[in-house]
Amino acid sequence: MGQIKDMGLPFINNYNKNTYKASNQNWSIAQNDKGFLYFGNNDGLLEFDGSYWELYPLPKRTILRSILAKGDTIFAGAFEEIGYYVPGTDGKMHFHSLVHLIPEYFRAFDEIWKIHNTPSGIVFQSFRFLFVFNNHQIKVIEPFSSFTQSFLVNGNAYVIDRKKGLFRMGARGLELVFSDPLFQRTEIRSLLYRGADELLLGTSTEGLYILKNKALETWPSPVNNKLKTYELFSGIALSENFYAFGTVQNGLYITDRNGRIYQHINRSKGLQNNTILSLFEDRHYNLWMGLDNASTQCRTRRCQVCGCQ
């Protein structure tokens, strides 16, 4: 088993829309217990078993913004639609809506941008509401102003309220973690674990910050200026203490815990597009990128070392 290399390029496998026969934008990525990969695509749910692609549109043919895999169930969120796909006896994925469980007053909720598996249930996040699905019921949580983003960090769900700041979901509802003008100035694109009582916040236009002991400080790291310049859009923690950051204008940056850049991959280095909408590390340590113009598998880890195909 090897680590991410800081010289040369990893093996990159691009899948364009002519290959998977769906739209160019892929907003979210998940993997089920069988190892199948799923993508939230403009045209619906994309399934990839390693050899073949299959598309499962939503009933209203809306953009599938967010997905979450739990076993072989794929929870899905779209424009004023929440529900789940499950495999049927025919081997195909079938969609079941949960909108009927939402009180009618809250059904104009716009897009669902994130879905999280939490101890309280499956959480669907829109800008207007949080929907918590548990025991065949849905609880609605309203923001103080509006929700902008949400994240799952070490099993805890966090959500950003544009005016009030960072909240954590607890047994009693939303608990304020930190408030700062930063949350009104810019979008929070990633929230990553750095250790006990320490979070790494990624902003769209102001780079990376460390939140520790109720204090917010700029993260003095080599990658920070790159993310300020090229606009952070997505970020995840990889195994073995690495981070992956996707930008709007200049592709992917992979760093260590100190922000040292180990890999930079963009269109001139093999990607089909410089805008990284979504990131996901699969169980074999391959890094998948949902691009603004296709999908890419980047074998930055074990497969890069052993050369397997």
Q: Is 261 in contact with 255 (CB distance < 8 Å)?
A: yes
More confident residue, 195 or 209: 209
**Mean pLDDT across the chain, nearest whole number?**
91
Tell me whether residue 117 is exposed, middle or buried, using C-beta atoms within 10 angstroms of its C-beta: 0 to 12, 13 to 18, 19 or more.
middle
The band of 16, judged by pLDDT with boundaries at 50, 70 and 90, is: confident
pLDDT in tens, 72-101: 999 999 999 999 999 999 999 999 999 999
Q: What is the structure's pLDDT at 143?
A: 96
> What DSSP element (H or E) covers 182?
helix 182-185
pLDDT at 309 > cutoff 60: no
Q: What is the structure's pLDDT at 10?
A: 75
The band of 11, judged by pLDDT with boundaries at 50, 70 and 90, is: confident
Q: What is the structure's pLDDT at 299?
A: 56
What does the alpha-carbon distance between residue 139 and residue 103 come to, in Å, rounded to a whole number? 9
pLDDT in tens, 109-130: 999 999 999 999 999 999 999 9
Of 21-30, 83-92, 213-222, 295-304, the least confident: 295-304
Across the range 148-176, mean pLDDT stands at: 94
Q: What is the structure's pLDDT at 297?
A: 63
18: left (phi over 0), alpha (psi -120 to 50) or beta: alpha
What does the alpha-carbon distance between residue 183 and residue 160 come to, in Å, rounded to a whole number? 8
Q: The sheet that has 130-134: what strands, in order across it?
A: 112-118, 121-126, 130-134, 137-141
Q: What is the structure's pLDDT at 130?
A: 98
Q: What is the structure's pLDDT at 119?
A: 92
Closest C-alpha to 201, from 188, 183, 214: 188
Q: What is the structure's pLDDT at 172?
A: 82
Q: Is 55 in contact with 61 (CB distance < 8 Å)?
A: no
Tokens of 72: 């072989």
pLDDT at 169 > cutoff 80: yes
